[in-house]
Amino acid sequence: VVIVVLFRDHNSKQRERNQYKQRKALLTTQSPPTVSLTVMAKYAYAPLQIDQNRRGNQGGSSGNNLSGMMMSSSNNNSNIPSQADKDDGNDQLVQERMPMCVAICVLLAIVFVLSKGSGDIDLQAQQQLQQQQQHSLRSMDTPQVGATAATATTATTTASGHHSEVYPKPGMVQQQDLVDMNMVPEAAPDSLAAASTTTVNTATIETPPVASCPDCPTCPEPTTTTTTTTPNILDDPNALMAKLRQDALDSTPPHIIECSSAEAGESQDACHLPKSERYTALGQKGATLWMTGCSGAGKTTIATALEDLLVKHHGKHVYRLDGDNLRTGLNRDLTFTEADRAESVRRTGELATLFSDAGVITLVGLISPYRGDRDLVRKRHEDQGIPFYEIFLDVPIDELKARDPKGQYARVDSGELKHFTCIDDPYEEPLDPEITLKTHELKIEESAKILLQRLEKDGILMGPPKVTPPGLPNPDGDLLVDLLVSPTEAPSKQAEAATLPKVLLTDIDLNWLQTVAEGWAAPLTGFMREGILLETLHFNSLLVDPFNITGNGDKLTTKTKFEDFNPHRPNHRVSMPIPITLSLTEFTKDSIEQSGKQDVALVTRMGKMIAILRNVEIYENRKEEIVTRMFGAIDMGHPYIKNIYAGGDYLIGGEIELLERIVYNDGLDQWRKTVTELLQEFDDKGADTVYAFQTRNPTHAGHAYLMKSAGEDLKRQGYENPVLWLSPLGGWTKSDDVPLDVRVKQHEEVLKMGTDHPGGLDPASTVMAIWPAPMVYAGPTEVQFHAKSRRCAGASYFVVGRDPAGMKGSMEAVAHQDDDLYDGNHGRYVLQNSPGIEDMKMLSFVKVMYDVTDNVMKVPDESRMDDFISISGTKMRLLARNGAVPCSATDIPTDLVEANCIPSGFMVPDGWDLVVDYYKNIDNTTRWIPWSQPHVDPPAAEGTVSTGSFGFSTFAMQNVGSASFWHDIEYMPSAYKADKGIINMVTEIPMYMAAKMEVDKSSPGNPIIQDSNKDGSPRYYTYGTPFFNYGLIPQTWEDPDLKTGLFGGDNDPIDVMELGSTSLKMGSVTPCRVLGSMELIDEGEMDHKILCISLSDPDASRIHNMDDLEAVKPGYIAKIVHWWKYYKTSDGKDVNSLGSETPRTVDQALQVLEEVHHRWRSLCGLDGTRRTALSSHTDGFWLASQGCRA
Of 1149, 1158, 1099, 1164, residue with least CA distance to 982:
1149
DSSP state of 952: S
Cβ(831)–Cβ(805) below 8 Å = no
Cβ(575)–Cβ(798) below 8 Å = no
DSSP state of 1053: P
Per-position b or e across 763-778, b if 16+ CB within 10 A of its CB = eebbbbbbbbbbbbbb
Of 767, 770, 753, residue with least CA distance to 910:
753
Cβ(715)–Cβ(680) below 8 Å = no
Measured CA distances, 80 to 57, 71, 74, 430 (Å)? 10, 6, 9, 75
Q: Say which of 356, 368, 447, 789 is annotated catalytic.
A: 368
Of 401, 65, 315, 270, residue with least CA distance to 838:
315
Q: Which amino acid is at 37?
A: L
State the Cα–Cα distance between residues 521 and 1127, nearest whole angstrom.
Answer: 32
From first CA to last CA, the distance across the chain in angstroms is 144
523 preceded by a cis bond (ω within 30 of 0):
yes
Q: Count H helices, E strands: the chain? A: 35, 39
In sequence order, which residues have a C-beta less than 8 Å from that of residue 518 and are 6 or more positions away? Answer: 481, 482, 483, 662, 674, 675, 676, 772
Residue 318, phi then psi, degrees to nearest 5: -135, 145
Helix axes 83-115, 46-59, angle to 10 degrees: 160
| DSSP letter string, 266-332 | S-GGGTS--HHHHHHHHTS--EEEEEE-STTSSHHHHHHHHHHIIIIIT---EEEEEHHHHHTTTTT
Mapped onto helix, strand or coil, the DSSP state of residue 798 is strand
225: left (phi over 0), alpha (psi -120 to 50) or beta: beta
Residues in the chain: 1190
Residue 21, phi then psi, degrees to nearest 5: -60, -40
Is 368 marked active-site?
yes
Measured CA distances, 1176 to 1003, 1005, 1048, 1049 (Å)? 17, 21, 14, 14
Cβ(528)–Cβ(483) below 8 Å = no
DSSP state of 1133: P
State the Cα–Cα distance between residues 984 and 971, nearest whole angstrom.
Answer: 6
Name beta bridge partners: 547: none
In sequence order, which residues have a C-beta less than 8 Å from that of residue 656 and are 6 or more positions away? Answer: 483, 513, 516, 517, 525, 526, 527, 602, 611, 612, 613, 614
Cβ(302)–Cβ(313) below 8 Å = no
913-921: long-range contacts at Cβ-Cβ below 8 A with a sequence spacing of 24 or more? Answer: 914/698, 914/742, 914/745, 914/746, 914/749, 915/698, 915/742, 915/746, 915/876, 915/880, 916/880, 916/883, 916/884, 918/738, 918/739, 918/742, 918/880, 919/877, 919/880, 919/881, 920/880, 920/881, 920/883
- 807, 811, 816, 822: CA torsion to nearest 10: -20
E-state strands within 735-879: 766-768, 797-800, 841-844, 849-851, 856-858, 868-869
State the Cα–Cα distance between residues 138 and 131, nearest whole angstrom.
Answer: 11
List, by residue number, the catalytic residues: 368
